[in-house]
């Protein structure tokens, strides 16, 4: 009977089925495992409490808030993140942090809806660091604390070539503009529907109408009882 030659592959297979050698155990223990899962571009995944919201475009650009509890976004003064955006509802949306470092967004019955990465929200949705919300005309980004420390604010700046100083329009007729800017002239309030009652004769007739009605009722009663 031929003896099977020694094979590291066979020995490893034997170790997997019957018992693992000390060398095999040592090799497995020396494998360096990542402490946390990684996101795209080598960025570490956030842990709970590391997320922040930043308004990167809109009337409140630059406003930030930490997402360490459910955050209500809206125009109402009682909201956690108050936006001075006319297209935003009083309580527009809510961001709820998750233990794994992500978050959940839900629309609170807003008038104009909530969009996640340009997709309209139809129900509660998952949010990761880097995702963007469109609420009204405001763009809000979910960011990690490490991202803030590495690159600072994410507010979208208008390129200098596109920035134009405010100027008076030249295509408006000066006469029209003068009329529009003139203070309103106070005029006495009139009520066309009751103008006819300003006539003295009509007013007297209106005053005599109840008396005439009483007289007619009295005549009708007299006739009724006299014919009975």
For 112-142, write each residue's pLDDT tens digit.
999 999 999 999 999 999 999 999 999 999 9
C-alpha–C-alpha distance, residues 103 and 96, integer Å: 5
Better pLDDT: 68 or 170: 68
Reported pTM? 0.50
Q: Return the biggest CA–CA distance within the chain.
A: 147
Distance of alpha carbon 54 from alpha carbon 155, whole angstroms: 8
Beta bridge partners of 52: 66, 143
Residues 6+ apart with CB under 8 A from 151: none
Q: Provide mean pLDDT across the span 90-111.
A: 93
Helix (H, G, I), strand (E, B) or coil at 51: strand
Residue carrying structure tokens 């089925």: 17
Number of continuous H segments (helices) and E segments (strands) in the chain:
5, 11
CA pair distance 22, 151, nearest whole angstrom: 47
Distance CA 175, CA 46 (A): 61
How many CA atoms lie within 13 Å of 177's alpha carbon, on the beta-carbon side? 7
CA distances from 32 to 25, 26, 37, 62 (A): 14, 12, 13, 40
Contact 140, 132 (CB under 8 A): yes
**d(Cα 81, Cα 58) in Å, to the nearest integer?**
14
pLDDT digits (tens, 9 = 90+) for 45-100: 444 458 999 999 989 999 999 999 999 999 999 999 999 999 999 999 999 999 88
> In angstroms, rounded to a whole number, what is the distance separating the alpha carbons of residues 55 and 59?
9
């Amino acid at each position: 009977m031929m003896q099977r030659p020694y094979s590291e592959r066979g020995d490893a297979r034997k170790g997997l089925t019957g018992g693992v050698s000390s060398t095999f155990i040592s090799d497995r223990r020396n494998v360096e495992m990542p402490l946390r899962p990684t996101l795209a571009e080598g960025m570490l995944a956030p842990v709970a409490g590391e997320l922040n919201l930043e308004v990167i475009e809109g009337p409140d650009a630059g406003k930030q808030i930490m997402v360490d509890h459910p955050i209500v976004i809206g125009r109402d003064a009682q909201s956690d993140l108050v936006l001075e955006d006319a297209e935003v509802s009083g309580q527009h949306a809510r961001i709820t942090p998750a233990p794994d470092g992500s978050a959940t967004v839900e629309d609170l019955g807003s008038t104009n809806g909530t969009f996640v990465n340009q997709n309209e929200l139809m129900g509660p949705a998952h949010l990761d660091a880097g995702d963007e919300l469109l609420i009204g005309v405001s763009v809000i980004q979910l960011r990690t604390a490490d991202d803030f420390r590495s690159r600072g604010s994410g507010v979208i700046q208008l390129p200098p070539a596109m920035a134009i100083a405010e100027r008076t329009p030249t295509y408006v007729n000066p006469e029209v503009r003068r009329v529009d800017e003139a203070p309103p002239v106070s005029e006495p309030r009139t009520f066309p529907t009751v103008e006819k009652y300003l006539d003295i004769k009509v007013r007297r007739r209106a005053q005599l109408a109840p008396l005439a009605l009483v007289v007619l009722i009295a005549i009708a009663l007299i006739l009724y009882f006299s014919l009975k």
